[in-house]
Amino acid sequence: MSLKETQVRADSKDLSRFENNVRSSMKWSSLLAKSVLKKAAYVVGFIFLWWAVTGMHLLPAFAVPSPSAVAKVTESSFSSLLSQSWVSAQRVIISVLAIWVIGAIVGVLIGMTPRMWPLLSLGRALYAVPIVVVYPLLGVWFGVGGTSKIVFGFVSGILPMSLMSAAAVRSIDENIYMLFASLRVSRASMFRRAVFPAALPGVISAMRLSGSMGLVSVVVGEMLLSANGIGYWISNAESQFEGPTLYEGIIMVLVFALILNGLVGFLERKVAAAYG
C-alpha cells in the first residue's frame, strides 16, 4: 500500500511543491485561487522571457517568432485554429476514453485472474515495440481520415493502461485478500470493497501515462498523414515556413496536454482525499 501511496505522491509532485505545501493548511477554494494565480504568474513570466529573447533578435524570426507575431497570426486565424483543434480534440477524447475504459477493464480482469498472468509478459514484450511502425498499416486499413488516428492513439495507450492496471491489482496486499476470505464474501463484494479501492491509485497513474500517450499518438498521426487536425496544422505550417502559425499549433497542443493533466490531477486529488 505504501508503495502506491508514494506513487500517488510522486505523481502529484507535478503539481509543484508549493501547492503541496499549502494543501494541508488551506481550504479548497482559496487553494484553487492561489494555484490559478501562481500558474498565471508562470505564464506571464514565460511570455515576458519569450518577448525579451525575441526582442534582442538573437534568433532567426522563423525559429523563434516574437509573441506579438504569434498573437497577430492568431488573431486572423483563430477560428480555423479552433475548428482544427476541435477535430483533433474529438479524436483524442474518443481515443483516450477507449484506452481508459477498455484498458482498465482488461487490466483489472487479468490482474484478478492468475491464469492470465502470462499474458502480461507478452504485453510487456509488445510494449517495447515502437508502435509508430504500424501506423502506415493503420492508414491502409482505416484510411487517411480520423479513424486511423483514433485507432493509432488507442493502440499506443492500451498496452500501458492494461499493464499498469493489472500491476495495480496484482500488488494488492495478500493479507487483504486473506481478510476478505475470512469474512467469506462473494467475488463481487470483494471487488467492490477491496480490489477496486486498493487498485484505484495505480489505475489513475496508468490513466495519466496512457492518456498522454494517446494524445501524443493522435497528434503524431495527424502530422504524418492527414488533411486536418492540429497535427496537420503544425506539419503544414512547418512545410510552408510559417513560424508564427507553427507556434500557434504547438501552443494549442500544450493546452490539450494541460487539460488532460488537470483532469487526471483532479481525479488524483479526489482519491488522495478519500484515502486520508
Partner 1 sequence: MTQSINKFSMKASAEPNAINPTSADLTGHDGTVDVRGLTVCYTDSRKQKHTVLQDVSFNVPSGTFATVIGPSGSGKSTLLKILGGLHPAEAGETVIGGRLITEPNPDLVTIVFQDSSLLPWRTVIRNVALPLETAGVNRLEREERAQKVLELVGLGDCIHKYPRELSGGMKQRVAIARGLVVEPSVLLMDEPFAALDEQSRYEMGEELLKLWDRLKSTVIFVTHNLSEAVFLADKVIVLEGRPATVGQTVDVNFSRPRDLGLMVSPEFHVVRDQLYTSLKRDRIRSSGTYSWSQESPGPNGELLKGDR
Residue 1 or 116: which CB sits closer to partner 1?
A: 1
Contacts to partner 1 by CB under 8 A: 1, 5, 173, 175-176, 178-185, 189, 193-194, 197-198, 200, 274-276
Provide the b/e sequence for 188-208 (b: ≥16 CB within 10 Å): eebbeebbeebbbbbbbbbbb
Closer of 106 and 200 to partner 1 (Cβ): 200
Q: Are 97 and 143 in contact (CB under 8 A)?
A: no
Measured from the CB of residue 193, what is the shortest distance to partner 1 in angstroms?
A: 7
Please tell me the distance from the alpha carbon of residue 62 to that of residue 226, in angstroms, as a whole number: 24
- Distance CA(21)–CA(217), nearest Å, equals 35
Residue 197 CB, nearest approach to partner 1 (Å): 5
Closest listed residue to residue 107, CA positions, set 152, 58, 170, 55: 170
Smallest distance from the beta carbon of 113 to partner 1, in angstroms? 18
User: Of 60 and 276, which has the nearer Cβ to partner 1?
Assistant: 276
Contact (Cβ atoms closer than 8 angstroms) between residue 232 and residue 84:
yes
* Nearest CB to partner 1, comparing residues 183 and 255: 183
Select 43 or 274, whichever has its Cβ closest to partner 1: 274
Q: Ramachandran region of residue 120, left (φ > 0), alpha (ψ -120 to 50) or beta?
A: alpha
Q: How far is the CB of 173 from partner 1 (least distance, A)?
A: 7
| Smallest distance, partner 1 to C-beta of residue 93, A | 29
CA geometry: angle 241, 48, 60, nearest 5 deg: 30
